[in-house]
Every structure is written in structure tokens, then in C-alpha cells.
Structure 1
Amino acid sequence: MNIIIVGAGALGLLYGARLALAGHGVVLLTRSDEQAGALNAQGLLYKEATGAETKVVIPAASVRRFVDAGACRAFGADWAVLAVKQPQVDAGLLADLERLLRGGVPLLALQNGIGHMERLAEALPASPVYAAVTTEGALKPDERTVRHTGTGRLAFGRWDGRNDDGAEAQKMLLDALADAGIEANLSNEIKDQVFLKLLLNAVINPLTAIYQVRNGELSRDPYRLRLMRALHDESEAILRAAGLRSNEDLWERLLGVCAATAGNESSMLRDVRAGRLTEIDWINGGIAGYAKRLGLSSRMNDAVLALVKALRVT
């Protein structure tokens, strides 16, 4: 199977390396010509959780160069994976994706937060668009290196709920992921899974960024714990009003995730420290948007949204 991976951050590099090592055709599309040049000249260095290192040769190009060259048709893509962060899903990228995926190539979207799926579906009317939730852990120490930090699962499903369409393409992707040792399943409840991950991100990400602590340190201080609970309860109430149906004890689930990832730095904490634009607008801002439409209060989400934005170094 031939797969285009749009975005060469940690997850893009991780999935690219594993799929290529399993024998599938992969091309990596980067934001910059410089990163593409480094990958083409030196290869992708894949560091497994066991410590083993493998050099993987994968062709790379910047998104714009690949699109302008009309290389998608020559490559014969069966699937595309969108592995960029939410702030990069802008009008320019949507236009590039429309040209890239002409012919109805299905797209798997790995973004955190909400709001992007509707924009992708509108921009790509010919392509089936799938939302994905992954619990894989990866870090990108430099432009051509990825370190696998934790094994997880990938769940995906059509955002419009039409999983009965495209069975052949779905099976092709599931088989390719299995070849790469990636546990995956097609979900008929993908919106619920997106909401569940959003709830975790809405508490862990902004609070670790504000307090400058790792995940496991959040609940060790009683004052931070009270703030966690208040933010969690408000967010859960809003998401349940928006359609979340899970019967789990979601507060205990949150505490369990913090304990299981105690040594991890959230992506938002890393973005704040690096002075990068965060995904706060699509995480807590997304929940606040639901609240506004539903006539609910979102004071806690509004507060952390303002605080994280104030932390950004420009």
C-alpha cells in the first residue's frame, strides 16, 4: 500500500518509519525544504522503546513542492495521513490537500482537539475523511529522528458516521497498520473517543503548561488537584451536553492517565517552552465554543485559555 504522510513531526515520523519498515510505500511531506533535505540526505533515524536504532530511507519533500510537481498521481497514494498540529490546518494547507487528494484518496486525521474535521470535510468533498485517536507516544529530538516512547492503540472512523462505505480501503489500512505492529480498530463511536481524549487534553495540557510540571506532578499538590477537578467537571458537563455518552468514571480515568504518564511532558508544555503556537484554541477553546452554542458556562476553560495564551513568548 502507498501512503502519503503529511507532517513530519513526532507522530508523522513514527508512523512513517514503522509503515516503511513493514514494506509499504511511504512518502513524507514536510513543512520545510530543509527538513525534507535532511531526511533525503541522511535518512530517518527510528529509535525504538527498547533502545534499538534503525535508519529508514523514506523519500521526503515539502508539501508545496510535492503538490506543485503533481507527484501524488505518480506516487499512486491509497491513503493519506494528516499528522500536523491543529494550528497548521490553515487555508493554505487545506488548498494543498484538495490538490493532493484529487480522485478521492481517503484521509486519516490525527489532530488533537476539535473543529478541524468539519473544515477538512468541507475542503475535501471527494475524499472520505476519518478522525483518529491514538495513544502512541513519540518524541522528535531533531528533524530526522523519532523516539518511540510508548506503545498504544489507534482508533479511527468516519466523522460523518458512514463506516459502511469504503470497506476495501478500510481493510487495506487496517492490514497495513497490523503489518507495522500498530494496534488499530475501526470505530463506530469515534466522536465519543475524540471527546474522551479532548477531556483529558483539556485538563492535563493547559495545567501542565501553566504550572510548568510533568503530568504526574499535577495531582500531587492539593491546590492543583482542586483546580484539576473544577476544570474536569466543567469540561465533562459541556461535552456530555454536546453528545459524550461514555459510562466510565472519567475523573478516575484522568487520574489514571496522569499516573501512567507521570514522567511525560505534555505537548502544550513543550510548545510553551519553545515559544510555539499551542493547540489551546482547539482544545479548551473548542470546549468553550460548545458551551457558547449550548448556553452553558465555561469559566474554567475561558480562564486557562487566556492564561496559556499569555504564556506564549513572541
Structure 2
Amino acid sequence: MRIMIVGAGSLGLLFAAKLAAYCERLTVITRTREQAGELAGQGLEFNDADGCQKLKQNESLEFGYFIEEEQKAAVATNSKPYDYIFLMVKQPAITKELVDYLDNHMDERTYLLCFQNGMGHEEKLGEVIDSHRLLLAVTTEGARRDGFTRVSHTGHGVTYIGSMQHSEEIDPSAHFLLVELLGKAGFQSEMSKNMDVRIWSKLIINAVINPLTAIMRVTNGELLNTTSSMSLMEALYQEAYAVALAQGVALPDRLWESLLGVCTATSQNHSSMLQDIENSRPTEIDRINGSLLAIANKLNMKLPTHETVYLLVKALE
């Protein structure tokens, strides 16, 4: 199978490291020349419970970069198309230039698998790319990037894959080879016909954990340490849950327990939003809490806690 991974953050490098041995061709596209150069020269160092290994660039594994001004990636050309492109950048990075670049690397056999948090990216991608070629992914895999070329697997999870067309019945065998490949690489994955529930569940979990850790400058687990932070979590959760119900989404009964479980399982992790604030980068607050506020506004609903944390994160940005 031929796969391109666009985005070399923690998840991008994790999937690249574990999939490399099972792909006919694996291309990793970074956002800077510097990272692509270090990966090509030093290799990709991967750490998990079984130890450390380093993967070097070779004829089946290559590293390149995409820069908007150039609108191209510095990788070797290959006549064979990619079977899948894994889009593993954050939502703010999905620009018109990047969407055009993705479209230029797809043909009628290529699927784009989107791993973004929040909502809204599917509409932007669907304006250029055939919606039947778009797949959504929700993963609970844990990873930490330690520099440009090192990644650690910090927690096993599940990756759900489904169609962008929520009403469309998915043939479970349509992407059997992809699920099989991910399984060989050590990722538990499955096709899902209710991606709206998966996406809403992850959105709510992110909308509770990410902004609070960014504002308080704490790890995920530290949110559980005080009654005040727990009260804020519950207020954010209840407001988001009400929006989902108003949208007709049947959320899991134990979603609150799942949210607390994520905090416990990733207790030492710095959320992506906290890392963005610490490194003076734009956050995904507009696509996470901001998307909830936009939906609530259309429904004439008020989300005072979400509005407060949204404004606080925007002020920190």
C-alpha cells in the first residue's frame, strides 16, 4: 500500500514510525524544510514499551516538506498514485494552498483520511475534493513528539474510520486492506457507520480538557485535583452535551466517565492547546469551543462557560 502522511507532529510521526515496515511506499510531508532535512539525515526515532528504534530514509520511506509559498513538496516523483493520504495537521494549517496540494496528489483511487479535532474542516476540504474520497478518523492513540525526529507512543487507543457522508451506508469491506494494515502496525482500528457520534464525543472531550489545561497551564491529570476545576469541567460538559442533543446526536451514556478516563490515562500529557500557548502558536479554539458556540448561536442557545474559556484562550493567543 502507498500512503502519504501530511503533518509530522506527534500523531503523524507515530503513524509513520509504525506503518513504515508495512508500506510499499510511505511519504511523510512536514511543514518546514528544517524538519524534513533532519528526518532525512538522522532518521525517525521511535520509542515505545518495546524499546527504541530508528528508521532511515530509503526507497520505500521518504521525507519531504510543503510550504505554501512554493505550493509543492520536495519529494521524488513517482508514477504510482497514493492509496491513502493521512491528513494529520491541525485545523489552522488547512489552507487553500494545502487543499489544492492535496487535490493535486489524488486521483480516483486515492482517499483522504482526516484526523482533525473539532468541526468545519470537512466542509473546506469538500469544496475542492470529491466528498466520496473523504474519510474521517477519530483516534485515541497517545503520542508525544520530542523534537523534530523523535516520537514516543504514550498510550494505546482505538482509531475509528468512517465516511464523510453520515447517511451513507459503509461497506465494511471497502477499506478492509487499510484496517488490516493498521492492525499489522499495532493500531486497533475499525470502520464506523456513526462517525457523527464519534466526532461529537471527541469534540466534547477536547472542548472540556484542552482550554482548561491551556488557561491553567496544567497537565490533563491535574484537572482532576481540585473541586473548582472539576466544576468547570462539568459545566463545559453539560453545555456541550445539551448542544449535541439539540442537534439530534445520541451520545454515549457514559461519556462523562470516558472524559474522566481520558484525563487519567493521559495524566502526564500536555494538551495540544497548552503546547500551542506555551510555544506562541495559534490554537484550535475556533474549531473546538468556537464551533460549539457557532452551532449554539444558530439554535438560540447560550453557553456561558464555553464563551468565557473561548475568550480567555483567544486573549492568551
For structure 2, the 5+ residue unaligned runs are none
- 1:164 equivalent to 2:170? Answer yes
User: What residue is the counterpart of 1:53 in the other structure?
Assistant: 53
> Per the alignment, in what secondary structure is the counterpart of residue 185 of structure 1?
strand
Contact preservation (8 Å) 1:21, 1:56: no
Distance 1:185 1:298, change over 3 A: same
More displaced 10-residue stretch of structure 1: 155-164 or 56-65: 56-65
Aligned pairs (5 A) from 1:73-84: 74-84=79-89
Contact preservation (8 Å) 1:3, 1:79: yes
Aligned pairs (5 A) from 1:1-314: 1-57=1-57, 58-63=61-66, 67=72, 74-125=79-130, 128-161=133-166, 162-164=168-170, 167-168=173-174, 170-312=175-317
Contact preservation (8 Å) 1:102, 1:126: no
1:310 deviation in Å? 1.0
Contact preservation (8 Å) 1:159, 1:191: no
Q: Which letter does structure 1 place at the counterpart of 2:125?
A: L
Q: Which letter does structure 2 place at the counterpart of 1:193?
A: R
Q: Which letter does structure 1 place at the counterpart of 2:65?
A: S
1:24 deviation in Å? 3.9
Instruction: Name the count of aligned residue pairs.
Output: 311
1:250 deviation in Å? 2.5
Distance in 1, matches of 2:150 and 2:265, equals 25
1:71 deviation in Å? 5.7
1:159 deviation in Å? 1.3
1:21 deviation in Å? 2.2
Distance in 2, matches of 1:221 and 1:8, equals 35
Q: Which letter does structure 2 place at the counterpart of 1:289?
A: A
Distance in 1, matches of 2:8 and 2:220, equals 25
Distance in 2, matches of 1:47 and 1:164, equals 35
Distance in 1, matches of 2:206 and 2:9, equals 19
Contact preservation (8 Å) 2:3, 2:23: no
Q: Provide, for residues 60-100 of structure 1, a one-character-per-residue CA deviation record: whole Å limited to 9, x for no partner.
A: 11135784679665242111100101110111211211212
For structure 1, the 5+ residue unaligned runs are none
Distance in 1, matches of 2:137 and 2:213, equals 24
Runs of 4+ in 1 over 6 A off after TM superposition: none
- CA-based RMSD of the aligned residues comes to 2.1
Contact preservation (8 Å) 2:140, 2:158: yes
